[in-house]
Amino acid sequence: MKKRKVFTGSAVLLAVLAAAGGIMAYLGASDDAENTVEVAHDKIAVTENFPKPSDLESNANNYYTKEVGIANTGNVDCYVRVYADLPDSAAAAESFYSADGVNYYSAVRDAGLSADTSSEDNGKIIHTQSFVNMLNSQDGDWIFVPDDDSSEKLRGYYYYKKPVKVGEKTADLFKSVMIHTGDAPEAADLTVYAESVDCVYEENGQEKTYADYAAAWNGFLS
């Protein structure tokens, strides 16, 4: 039997025209509706620090704290993955993510966008390289599987490569967001949600441990 997978979602509205607020949503789901109580199960929560933004300025770079991490609130170790995107391509083209609060990379979900030029903005470094390309070029805790990857079932998500132990949380995927506004700024939605899967599986009555995050997710989704 496949282990339970729990979803935690957060949809954050960034009102680029005036003041904005955050909308938080929690969603729970299981692939086994008959088994509503389990001795061992994985459960996660998106741990976000996202203060309500003040009014945004037009023709400016607007910076917001947006710390996204995933906490394991269940009772078994698990692997997690995160979907984060600005569905509006025009908004994404004017938005940037930062993993360190200093270097900001394009929010466009193009893993091939490697060409990089940079400019400075009051101590912040704005890069043309995509955030997902930067992430995949480093040997960090997170990796992005692009939409054209050969692993079709894994496409479009950020994966935390290490198991998240019970009571612990991932390193933050990113810490800050910048939105560049023009003369007539419009609202932009940044959608973030996460999924988890147990680190172990059952085979012929024996409990085994997945070799890595890719094996765990491919095993669950198969």
Environment class of 135 (CB within 10 Å of its CB; exposed 0-12, middle 13-18, buried 19+): buried
For tokens 């391509």, the residue is 89
Average confidence score pLDDT of the chain? 79
- In the structure, what pLDDT confidence band is assigned to residue 210 with cuts at 50, 70 and 90? very high
The residue with greater pLDDT, 147 or 120, is 120
Structure tokens at 164: 């998240």
pLDDT of residue 7: 45
Instruction: Tell me the domain boundaries of the chain.
Output: 7-221
Task: Give the C-alpha separation, 213 to 122, whole Å.
Answer: 38
HSE toward the beta carbon, residue 39, CA cutoff 13 A: 0
Is beta strand 124-130 parallel, antiparallel or unpaired with respect to 103-106?
Answer: parallel
Point out the least confidently predicted range of 7-11, 87-91, 117-121, 164-168: 7-11
Using only the alpha carbons of the chain, give its radius of gyration. Answer: 18
Percentage of the chain lying above the pLDDT 70 cut: 75
Distance of CA 7 to the CA centre of its chain: 12
pLDDT at site 186: 66
Going by their DSSP bridges, the two strands 95-98 and 176-180 should be labelled as antiparallel
Give per-residue pLDDT as tens, 167-199: 999 999 999 999 888 776 666 678 888 999 999
For the ranges 75-79, 157-161, 193-197, the maximum mean pLDDT occurs at 157-161
| Pairwise CA distance, residues 60 & 183, whole Å | 9
Q: pLDDT per residue over 102-119, tens digit each?
A: 999 999 989 888 989 999
More confident of the two residues 84 and 5: 84
Calculate mean pLDDT across residues 146-153.
Answer: 89
Least confident stretch, 46-50, 126-130, 141-145, 189-193: 46-50
Q: Across residues 74-91, what is the average pLDDT?
A: 90
Could you tell me which residue, 211 or 13, shows the higher pLDDT? 211
State the average pLDDT over residues 65-92.
90
Let me know: does 185 contact 16? Beta carbons within 8 Å.
Answer: yes
pTM above 0.85? no
Task: Compute CA distances 203 → 1, 82, 193, whole Å.
Answer: 9, 27, 30
